[in-house]
Amino acid sequence: MSLRALGVLLLAGAAVAARAEEKPPGPRHTISVTGQGEVKAVPDQIVASFAVETTGTRATDTAAENAKRSAAVAAALKALLAPEDTVGTTHYAVDPRYEPGRPGETREPRIVGYVARNEVQIESRRIDKAGALVDAAIGAGANRVGSLQFSLSKRDELLRSALEKAGADARAQAESVAKGLGVRLKGVLSATTSPPAIVVPRRFEGAMAAEARATPTPIEPGEATVTATLQVTYEIE
């Protein structure tokens, strides 16, 4: 056997012996906690929809009347909005109305008229005009308030603040547990966030609009709460 071959065999044997002496790593000891973070803020955006619904015996007349009233509603809203705010149509339909059938009748339903619906949605930063916008839309001819909700323009920034608080809460919990057990935190093994929850007040969902009132409609945005949840697993020593 050549010296080179002998050297290769000796190296291989040494490697096998070293691996045999190595011990498999033991199980890691961990502490798992769930941190909660919460940030409150006043909403600074409003999203609202107003619908005009008209009925008539002819489709063309019904649609024409609806267009006239819808244009008036849009104009009234735009007069209160800032240039950067938006107004747009989100739904439009003209549907037939049928004569109610009688029990036992087999004839085809008969059209007795038409109903036209036009829904306009606004997005605005003018929170202070929420009540005035409702009154303006109703006064101009809207007869249905589809929805009105408040939102946050700095949602991402608020969510990051909530996550920071959740992380600090998780760390404080883990340190308390470790102190009680007489161990020390070594480091973070994993961290998982849950989908954020944002609680924002809503008003007028699916409500029918009443006649325009002499007293302005009071609408307050209230306070929104942004929450974050963080599941953290720490290794201990």
Rounded mean pLDDT of 198-222?
A: 61
Q: Is the pLDDT of residue 225 over 60?
A: yes
The answer to whether residue 97 is domain-embedded is yes
What residue type is assigned to position 8 of the chain?
V
pLDDT tens digits, one per residue of 16-57: 444 545 556 668 899 999 999 999 999 999 999 999 999 999
The answer to whether residue 10 is domain-embedded is no
pTM as predicted: 0.66
Cβ neighbour number for residue 31 with a 10 Å cutoff = 20
The answer to whether residue 52 is domain-embedded is yes
pLDDT tens digits, one per residue of 98-148: 988 777 777 778 899 999 999 999 999 988 888 899 999 999 999 988 888
Spatial separation of the C-alpha atoms in residues 193 and 166, rounded to whole Å: 9
Contact criterion met (CB below 8 Å) for 198 and 152: yes
The answer to whether residue 237 is domain-embedded is no
Mean pLDDT computed over every residue of the chain? 84
Q: Find the domain containing 76 and state its range.
A: 43-153+201-219
The answer to whether residue 47 is domain-embedded is yes
**What is the domain count for the chain?**
1
Spatial separation of the C-alpha atoms in residues 173 and 167, rounded to whole Å: 10
pLDDT tens digits, one per residue of 48-64: 999 999 999 999 999 99
Which tokens hold the place of 200?
A: 């924002």
The answer to whether residue 168 is domain-embedded is no
The answer to whether residue 91 is domain-embedded is yes
The answer to whether residue 186 is domain-embedded is no
One-letter-per-residue 3-state SS of 16-83: HHHHHHCCCCCCCCEEEEEEEEEEEECCCEEEEEEEEEEEECCHHHHHHHHHHHHHHHHHHHHCCCCC
Q: Is the pLDDT of residue 5 over 50?
A: no
Contact criterion met (CB below 8 Å) for 143 and 51: yes
Domain of 205, CATH number, reads 3.30.70.2970
